[in-house]
Every structure is written in structure tokens, then in C-alpha cells.
Amino acid sequence: MQRTFFRTTALGLALFGNLQAQTDFTKDVQPIFAKSCYGCHGAKKQMGGLRLDSKTLAFAGGQSGKSIQPANAAESTLYQRVAGIGDQARMPMGGKLDAEQIATIRKWIDQGAAWPDGAGTEVTAIKKHWAFIPPQRPAAPAVSNPRWVVNPIDSFILARLDKEGLQPSPEADRVTLLRRVSLDLIGLPPTIAEVDAFVKDKSKHAYEKQVDRLLQSPHYGERWGRHWLDAARYADSDGYEKDKIRQVWAYRDWVIKAFNRDLPYSQFVIEQLAGDLLPNPTQDQRVATGFLRNSMINEEGGVDPEQFRMEAMFDRIDAIGKSVLGVTIQCAQCHNHKFDPLTQEEYYKIFAFLNNSHEANIPVYTPDEQRMRSDLFRRIKEIESDVQHRSPDWQTRMAAWEAQVKTGQPEWTVLKPAVDDISNGGQKYIPAKDGSMLAQGYAPTKHRVKMTVKTDVQNITAFQLELLNDPNLPMGGPGRSLKGTGALTEFEVEAASADAPEKITKIKFSKATADINLPETVLDPMFNDKTDKRRVTGPIEFAIDGKDETAWGIDAGPGLRNQPRKAVFTAETPISNPKGTILIFYLKQNHGGWNSDDNQNHNLGRMRLSLTTAANAEADPLPKNVREMLSIPADQRTQAQTQSVFAYWRTTVPEWKEANTTIAGLWKQHPEGSVQLVMQAREDPRETHILTRGDFLQPAKQVNPGVPSFLNPLPVDAPVNRLTFARWLVDRQAPTTARALVNRMWQNYFGIGLVSTSEDLGKQSEAPSHPEVLDWLAVEFMERGWSMKAVHRLIVTSATYKQSSKVIPDLYTRDPYNRLLARGPRFRVEAEIVRDIALSASGLLNPKVGGPSVNPPAPEFLFLPPSSYGPKVWIESKGDERYRRALYTFRYRSIPYPMLQTFDAPNGDISCVRRSRSNTPLQALTTLNEPMFLESARALALRTLLEGGKNDEQRIAYAVRRCLSRKPTASETAELTNLLTKETQHFEGSNTKPWELATADPAKPPALPKGTTPAQLAGWTAVSRVLLNLDETITKE
């Protein structure tokens, strides 16, 4: 109401006030611009690409088009925006012009918008923001001390220090340097032996050798992969309320491996955005697209899956913006970007590239499993060849069989029933064009869905239920369980004449047939419903036996379970109603577990109902793909197709029973594999629309895929698809891609990026501290084949990096953040490395790389209500697995692992390219009291007694070196000796329990070195605990 009122008033005044006088631009209009517009549309800022202090640029307009249409104020966006006409935000932001000013502007435009030459500035082009111009290699400047310079990074840094009248710091000592570069490159401190070797190495390239060694370590990928995983918002659960476990560690391992083999960053990005679209993509390339799938998934009850697919799409674009482009693009989801020249339409053009994919879930196999599989397939093929060899006429016989089974299939009429909203238990049944329905959203573990349809078909004899694959189901379905299986507890049909819908009769079935009838099997523990009932799956009869404990099951075992299936239910008497029949289907699916908030559903995934009038209809025993191949003439089939037909046919031939049994036995050895969320292109593309205010219920104009005009253009001849988009991101002309990455690498070394706002290099970013370093590194990066290891080598071998990190008092006051880099970096290490250092110092660390995430000790209550929404699974890892590097710790988004969260690890809700670095009492409590830190202290104590030397002084030096790499000073040794003596004496006293401190299970104490006492071990445990809690221990100096 209020808005209309103002609008009318403004308009009224414009129309009727002050009609005749001629406006004078400089006297009447320009002052308004200067006072109210220049702030955002002047020399400093050009929001929306508009500048109003220059005649040329004012008439050129901005992103919203021409702002001034002379003699037509009504059509001029300038007038519309100040008068509050139309949907766009009213200008000026944060305060309106008064009615008289608005009238003045209107009059001035209507009178022809005369703007005398020379009024305003003479600028004729808006200067392009530095980051949007592709980087050029800057020449290295002259410096005061060329001998200090190792590579051009140092020239740029020193030139700046020269200008400021500052000196670089001396090089750090060797021990500090090796610890620094080890923590930086592999995230682990050096061993004592490594330190000694380096200190002793007098060769010229001693340091470079260490750098090479570290870059070749498999732990390099863990260290730098983790940074990328922050940007890729990696987590092991879905997020939102249910926050169910997801298996995506294959993606995490792909990242680690990609870093280790120094996959060029360009390829690294391409595979993550479009690996599935590369020619003959490998499993790894498909797994890489998990990057896009790390978005959260909401399967709480009552969600509209499309709404949350859209949220996931927004999240993907945000992740690409932060991690690859280094430009904030998500603002343009709702409106044109205010600061960067990105329009809302351009945002949705990017969106369109990503919008044509299935949210797919595929089985994946480790290299060992892949070997097992190819071995298995080879052996099966050998047996089949042998059978063929021994029956030379097999082709003729198969043709005869084909002729026999080819015809005689009943005709099925597909039904498109309506699903009852209450009976679906919160699960959405999404209809497709082919009449099938895809189960999505919340997955109840027990429900009986009701579906109703009216048909005019008479003499209905049987119903068919097809279970179909779908890329969006776990492992492709056809069920919704973690393995893509489902179970049909009961299939029920009721019928009524269309003219008497209340008179419902239950249909009795004379028989049921299916293309798979497995023996009776007790349910897998994952479907435990906490009842005492013996719940089983088995043949199709179980679906019409009226028993809640039995169900039709389709789990044919690994490698075979994810196939389409069908069942046919024959009515005792055919159904006819002259006015048509209302059919009510009930698909009871009660074979899930007790907890709908976990992955315990056992539902059907994609299903289709049909009916027939044929007599004696039965389920077609032929698999769907074989049936389809039969329609291809035998001589036109590929070898693989012939083989598939044969593979089915042979199972029907009695004389090959032995071979068939052997092959069936081989299939049982097929590995289970794991799953991975991936992108998979849809054959049926979606239309993309601009969404008004980002609301998926308000689609506006349709848009085609495209890229923002302020960035490099798309290649001309390439197909417009996700792959081309990915290649465009890493084009040599892409202005921000290389800069964004090298800036983040710099940030991870020096604590702060060359551009401190590393998630955004756009116009609102902070100016780079050393623009030349940024550009030089970006160009080097690209020209060295996008090799990340090459950039690491440049940085860590620079004199800049090798400086001592001691704080210089004067300098501190002047440059508290060390932006000028007159000293080396000194920072507390990241969360994961805090733990890794403790494990490594104590010798407990299990250095295994990759594999499923692990569950080190955590307080149980965290995973139970009311701390967690639903009860979550956290089965503490045993043995070595609890000592894995912290990056393998299982990550629930809603219940972050406390130790990691306390030390600022992000939880993966959204992409994060810059972590906080806090220093809090909760961190102190963690390193003092958390069980893994105590375990580490105990292990370090025992190891010190075993290996640390002959006397306490040697042992103290040993323990200190395991934590700090350096040797202790005399006063440090004195302090630690003092503590050791005091605590050992204490534990030697009566009424003390040294084992309680010194070991996890005092009933089973470890063997002590000869001549040592439990009190000594307790004393050493106290000392070790102190060492693990030192600031320096968890700091890169």
C-alpha cells in the first residue's frame, strides 16, 4: 500500500508540478546525481556497470540497459528506478529522492536530457577490474640485494620491502625450516632421523632434495587434498535433518591421488565438472564428478525433492564460484550482481550447463576389486566359450529357442495411477512420461502406499508390476535400499465399478509369477526392526500370502542385484465393469528397519503398473535387456549383445547345468564394492528458466547455457555442454581461475592470501598486497602445465618462504599481519594436523592412505537424541584404524567431530576456501583432556622410556624432538626435569595409581623397559602430555 502511495505521489508531482520551466542540467540535475548517485555510480564504484558522472557513460547505461532515453522518461530506467516503478529495487538504495527531485529528473529527460559537453568527467570507458583481465607475466624488478633473490617471487617481495625501507629476515635455521616445509607439504612433522640427515647434508641442494622428497610423499596428496576438500564441501553424510551416511570416500581418495600424481589443475577441474562426458570415461573420471554432488540432500519428511535439487544446484554454482572462479556469483541467483558485472540471466546461463544431469549413484570398485572383477568376467567368459566350443551347433539351437520365445507375450496397458498423499508415508512418487513412478525424498522404512486409477478396459485378467532401474536410485536401483534393492511385502488390489465407487471388492489372485524367485532368506541386519519376528524375503508368492513377515525379494547378490524385475499377478476371475473400473493398488513395503532417519529403507525405487486382458499371462522370464535384443536380427547384433542373449539362454539349457552352476558360483565372488554420488547426463534435457528471486516456483524467462560476458568467451565450435563449460573455466584466457588457486596456495603457506578475500577476487575484494606476485605465479602455473607441484616448489624454495618467523618488534607495530613478508609465517596448524602431530609424535600414527572413513573415539551422547536429531551410527574403530590421519575421520555434517570442529575445521555445509583460525579455551581442554591426546601422551611416554636414551636428559631431548623437532634449551630441560621428578615422586607414593594415568587398561599394563617402574612411566606420561600441549607443538614456525 505504502509503495503505491509514494508512486502515485511522485508521479502526480511529476505530471502536474512545475510544468513549464526548462531544466538546467548542471544547476538542477547534476547536483542530485552528485549528492545521491555518485556514491555508487561515480568514479569509485560503478554498481550495475553504471556511471553517472560522465556524459558518455551515463548515456551508455549499465547492466540494466540504457538508463536515459532522451524525451522519454517513462522508458528510462534511471527515472523508473528513482521513482520506484517496476520490480527492480528503488534507487538510491537506503533513501529515496524527494518528489521534487524525481520530478526534476523526469522533466529533464522528457525535455530531451540535454547534457552540456564538459559537464562531469571526461571518462569514456569503465576501467575493467584487474582480476577480470587475463594475467600477464610481470618483469622482475631491480632490488637492493639481488643475492637474496632465489626466484622472481623474491624480487617482487624485496622490491616492496625496499620501498618500505625494510629488510627481510635471515633464513630460518635448518631444523625449523624442515619442520615448516614438512608441515606445509605433507602435514606431518619430520622424524628425528629426517632432521638429522638434513642437518648433516652439506650438499648444495640439500633443501631442494627435501622438497622433492616431500612432494613425492603420498602424504602430500592428503595434505593438499584436504584444502581442496574444504572447497569441495566434502562430508560423509547428507546434511539437513536426517543427515544420513553417504558413501563418497571414493571421491575423497580420487582427490588425494590426483594431487599425488600432480594431475594438471586444468584436467583436475575438467574431470570434476564433467568427467562423465569425456570419451569412454574411466571409473575415476566418473567418480571425480562427485565434486558437484557433495551438495547436501534433504530427505526429511514432506520435502519436495525438486526444491532441494534446486538448492543443491545453487550450492554447486556457489562451490564453482568460490573454488574455481574465485568470484562471488551466488548473489546473482536473485538479482543482478551489484558490484561485479554479472547479471541474473548470466547466472542462470551457467546454471543451465549443470541442469541436465541425473543425481546419480553408481557402484565403484577399488583397484583390487576391479582386478577381481575382470578376473571373474574372464573366467565366466572362458566357461561360456568352452560350452560353445563343445556345442558347435549352439547358434542354431539358440536361434530355435529365440523363435520359440519371441512371440506370445501378452499386451500390457500401462496405468498412470494417482498416489494417495497420506499413505505414501512421506515418500514422493514422482511420475514419469512412461507411466513409471520414481520414489524420492523421505524414505519411510514401513509404509503401504495406495494408488488409484480408473480404466475402461474390460475383462482384466492380470496386473504387472515392473521394477525399473533409474540413475537417481542407489546403485541405479531398482530399489531404494543402500544396495538398490527393495522388497514387496504385499501386493493388493481392490476394484469398484466407476458408477459405484463405494462398493469395493478385494481382488483375489489365483497365482503370481516373477522373473526372479529367490529362496527364502532372513533379512539382512541393516533391516532389523527391533521386533522378534522372523522377517524374510523370497519368491513372488510371498507378496500375496497375506503375511507381513514375508516379502518378494530381488537381491540376487553382488553384481546381479541392480537389474529390472517384473511380477505378474493373475486375478482369480477377470474384472469387467461396463462403466469402467476403479482400481486401487496397495504396495505394502514393510521390510525396512526400525529407523527411518537412517539408511534402513527397503522400498521399491522405480515402478510401473500395467494390466492385461490376455489369458494365462505370466511374468516374462527373459531379462528386459535380452527381450529388447531379440528384436534386433541376430546378424545385426554386436558381439556383446549376442553374448548377453547367450548368457541368459544357457541358463535354460539343462545339459549345461554344471557350467551354469559354476558360473553362478563365480558370481558369488563378485566384490560388493561401494557407491559414489556422481553426475550423469540426462538424455531428456531440462529447460532452464531465470527464477524470480531464486524461487523455483517462480520460473521466468527461459535461458540457454552460456557464460558471463565479463569473462573469457566460450570456444566457438565446441558443443554447448557441461564439458565445454569445464574447459572454459580452465582456459588460458580465464582471468581468475589460475589467480584464485595460486592465491589460495599462498594463503595456506603465509596465513593470508595475496588477496586476503580468497573466495572473491571481484570488485569488492581487497586489493592484492603484491599484484605482481599473484600474476607472476598465475602465469607460471599455467605455463608449467597447470602443475600444482611446480608452484609449491617455487614458493617453498623462495627466500621469502625460508625467512625466520621471529617477530621483529618494530615491524610488528607496523605490519601486524606480516603482509609485507619481512619475516616467515608462524601459525597454528589446521585442525587435522593438530591431531596428526600428536599421533605422529607418539608413534601411534597409522600412515595408510585412502579407504573408507574411520570412527576414532567420540562421546557417544553426541550421536544420540537429544544431541543428534536421530540416533546415528558411530562404531568406534578398533586397532590401527583409530590412529589414521584426521582427514579420514568420518564427517557428519550435523554432528561435526568435536576435536576437528573445535580447531576450526568446516563441516562441509557449503564450500569453504578460507578457514578461521581461532585460539580458544575449548582447544586447550581438547588437547589436555580428549582421549586421543591422552593415548598419544601415554604412547610417547612409553616410547621415550624404550628408545629415548640412557638418562633422563637424553630422554627429555628425545621426547622434545619428537614433538618440536628441535632440541630443548637448558631452561626447558630444567623445567621438564623438574616436572618429571615431581610427578614420578608423586606416583611413587602410597595411595597413588600410576597405571591409571599411564595406560588405558590398568588390568593389562604394557611391558615396561627393564629397571623402570610404573611411577616413572606415569611421570613420563605427565611430561609427554605437557609437550603435546605446547603452543609450539601445534604451530608451524
Partner 1 sequence: MNMKPNQIARRWFMEQCGVGLGAMALGHLCGVKGLASDNPLAPKQPHFAPKAKNIIFLFMAGAPSHLEMFDYKPQLAKFDGTLPPADLLKGYRAAFINPNSKLLGPKFKFAKYGQSGAELSELLPHLAKVVDDISIVKSMTTDAFNHAPGQILMNTGSQLFGRPSMGSWVTYGLGSESQDLPAFVVTSSGKKGPSGGNSCWGSGFLPTVYQGVQFRGSGDPVLYLSNPPGVDNELQRNSLDSIKKLNQMRLDVTGDPEIATRINSFEMAFRMQTSAPELMDLAKEPKHILEMYGAEPGKPSFANNCLMARRLVERGVRYVQLFHEAWDQHGNLVKDIKQNCIDTDQACAALVQDLKQRGMLKDTLVVWGGEFGRTPMVQGGNDGRDHHPNAFTMWMAGGGIKPGITLGETDELGFNVVKDKVHVHDLHATILQLLGFDHKKLTYRFQGRDFRLTDVHGNVVPQLLA
Q: Is 75 in the site for partner 1 (CB under 8 A)?
A: no
Task: Quote the CA–CA distance of 116 and 108 in Å, as a whole number.
Answer: 13
Among 893, 943, 955, 962, binds partner 1 (CB under 8 A): 893
Question: In the beta sheet, which residues pair with residue 46?
Answer: 41
716 grid coordinates: 566457438
Among 550, 923, 936, 944, binds partner 1 (CB under 8 A): 923
Least separation in angstroms between residue 909's CB and partner 1 is 4
87 contacts partner 1 (rule: CB under 8 A): no
Closer residue to partner 1, CB minimum distance, 20 or 971? 971
| Interatomic CA distance for residues 606 and 593, integer angstroms | 20
Cell numbers 542530485 correspond to 32
To the nearest whole angstrom, how small is the minimum distance from the Cβ of residue 314 to partner 1?
7
Out of 688, 737, 877, 894, the only residue in the binding site for partner 1 (CB under 8 A) is 894
How many helices and strands (H and E) does the chain possess? 36, 22
Count of residues that bind partner 1 according to CB under 8 A: 109
Residue 87 CB, shortest distance to partner 1, in Å, is 14
Determine if 743 is a binding residue for partner 1 (CB under 8 A): no
Which part of the chain contacts partner 1 (CB under 8 A), choosing from 641-649, 753-761, 788-796, 879-887?
A: 753-761
Could you say which residues in the range 760-819 bind partner 1, by CB under 8 A? 760, 762-765, 805-810, 812-813, 816-817
Amino acid at site 443? A
Q: Do β-strands 550-553 and 536-538 pair in parallel, antiparallel, or remain unpaired?
A: parallel
Cα angle value 291/293/297 (rounded, 5°): 145
CA 763 to chain centroid, in Å, comes to 27
Contact in structure between 243 and 895 (CB atoms under 8 Å): yes
Q: Binding segment for partner 1 among 207-215, 342-350, 788-796, 899-907 (CB under 8 A)?
A: 899-907
Q: How far is the CB of 807 from partner 1 (least distance, A)?
A: 4
- Of the pair 112, 501, the CB lying nearest partner 1 is at 501
Which phi and psi (to 5°) does residue 1022 adopt?
-60, -45
Is 752 a residue that touches partner 1 (CB under 8 A)?
Answer: yes
Instruction: For partner 1, give the closer residue by CB, 133 or 697.
Output: 697
By CB under 8 A, is residue 920 in contact with partner 1? yes
- Choice between 784 and 917, CB closer to partner 1: 917
Q: Is 598 in the site for partner 1 (CB under 8 A)?
A: no
CB of 443 closer than 8 Å to CB of 870? no
Parallel, antiparallel, or unpaired for β 1035-1036 and 827-828?
A: antiparallel
Q: How far is the CB of 812 from partner 1 (least distance, A)?
A: 6
570 vs 926, beta carbon nearer partner 1? 926
Residues 737, 734: Cα–Cα separation, whole Å: 6
Q: Which three cell numbers stand for residue 748?
A: 595456506
In the range 325-384, which residues lie near partner 1 by CB under 8 A? 328, 330-331, 338-340
Which of the 8 DSSP states describes residue 660? H
What letters, b where the CB count within 10 A reaches 16 and e where it falls short, cover 150-161? ebbbbbbbbbbb
173 is a contact residue toward partner 1 (CB under 8 A): no
For partner 1, give the closer residue by CB, 30 or 803: 803
By C-beta, is 503 or 993 nearer to partner 1? 993
Smallest separation (angstroms) from partner 1 to the CB of 1017: 11
C-beta of residue 588 within 8 angstroms of C-beta of residue 455? no
Q: Give the separation between CA 720 and CA 679, rounded to whole angstroms.
A: 17
Using CB under 8 A, which residues numbered 214 to 253 contact partner 1? 239-241, 243
Residue found under cell 603457506: 749
Which of 175, 208, 201 is CA-nearest to residue 190?
Answer: 175
Q: Which is nearer to partner 1, 84 or 539 (CB)?
A: 84
For the bound state, the minimum distance from the C-beta of residue 906 to partner 1, rounded and expressed in Å, comes to 9
Please identify which residue in 373, 624, 682, 917 interacts with partner 1, judged by CB under 8 A: 917
Q: How far is the CB of 93 from partner 1 (least distance, A)?
A: 10
CA 87, 90, 94, 99 dihedral sign is negative
The dihedral formed by the CA atoms of 9, 12, 13 and 14, expressed in degrees to the nearest 10: 120
Nearer to partner 1, 222 or 930 (CB): 930
What is the distance of C-alpha 860 from the center of its chain?
A: 27
- Show contacts with partner 1 in window 820-879 (CB under 8 A): 826-828, 859, 861, 865-870
What is the CA angle 641-644-645, rounded to 5?
90
Select 931 or 949, whichever has its Cβ closest to partner 1: 931
Cell digits of residue 743: 592465491
Helices (H), 201-343: 206-216, 218-231, 249-260, 265-274, 283-288, 290-293, 305-320
CB of 427 to partner 1, least distance (A): 10
Is 922 a binder of partner 1 (CB under 8 A)? yes
- Rounded Cα–Cα distance for residues 636 and 250 (Å): 39
The residues that bridge with 487 in the sheet, in sequence order, are 553
Nearer to partner 1, 279 or 816 (CB): 816
In angstroms, give the least distance from the CB of 861 to partner 1: 7
Q: Could you say which residues in the range 286-325 bind partner 1, by CB under 8 A?
A: 296, 298, 300-304, 311, 314-315, 322
Angle formed by the axes of helices 952-964 and 931-947, nearest 10°: 130
Sequence-distant (6+) residues with CB within 8 A of 566 are 464, 465, 466, 467, 514, 515, 619, 620, 624
d(CA 557, CA 671): 10
Residue 79 or 1020 with smaller CB distance to partner 1: 1020
Give the footprint of partner 1 on residues 957-986 (CB under 8 A).
969, 971-972, 975-976, 978-979, 982-983, 986
CB 849 within 8 A of CB 256: yes
- Please report how close the Cβ of residue 440 comes to partner 1 at its closest, in angstroms: 14
What x-and-dash track marks residues 387-426 binding partner 1 by CB under 8 A? ----------------------------------xx---x
From the list 725, 684, 720, the residue with the least C-alpha distance to 704 is 720
Task: Give the SS3 label for residue 739.
Answer: helix
Here's the x/- map for partner 1, 676-715, by CB under 8 A: it reads as: ---------------------x------------------
| Cell numbers that stand for 885 in this block | 590421519
Which position among 271, 759, 836, 952 is part of the footprint of partner 1 (CB under 8 A)? 759
Q: Which is nearer to partner 1, 235 or 554 (CB)?
A: 235
We find the least distance from the C-beta atom of residue 765 to partner 1, in angstroms, to be 6
Least separation in angstroms between residue 3's CB and partner 1 is 14
Q: In degrees, to the nearest 5, what angle opens at C-alpha 47 toward C-alphas 46 and 52?
A: 50
Q: From the centroid of its chain, how far is CA 765?
A: 25
What CA–CA distance (Å, rounded) separates 660 from 644?
14
Name which of residues 987 to 1006 contact partner 1 (CB under 8 A). 993-998
The reply to whether 165 sits near partner 1 by the rule CB under 8 A is no
The whole-angstrom separation of Cα 922 and Cα 732 is 46
Residues in region 252-291 near partner 1 by CB under 8 A:
none
- Least separation in angstroms between residue 911's CB and partner 1 is 9
Q: Which is nearer to partner 1, 243 or 253 (CB)?
A: 243
Site for partner 1 in 1010-1029 (CB under 8 A): 1018, 1021-1022, 1025-1026, 1029
Residue 901 sits in the site that holds partner 1 (CB under 8 A): yes
- Is the Cβ of residue 201 or residue 975 nearer to partner 1 in the bound state? 975
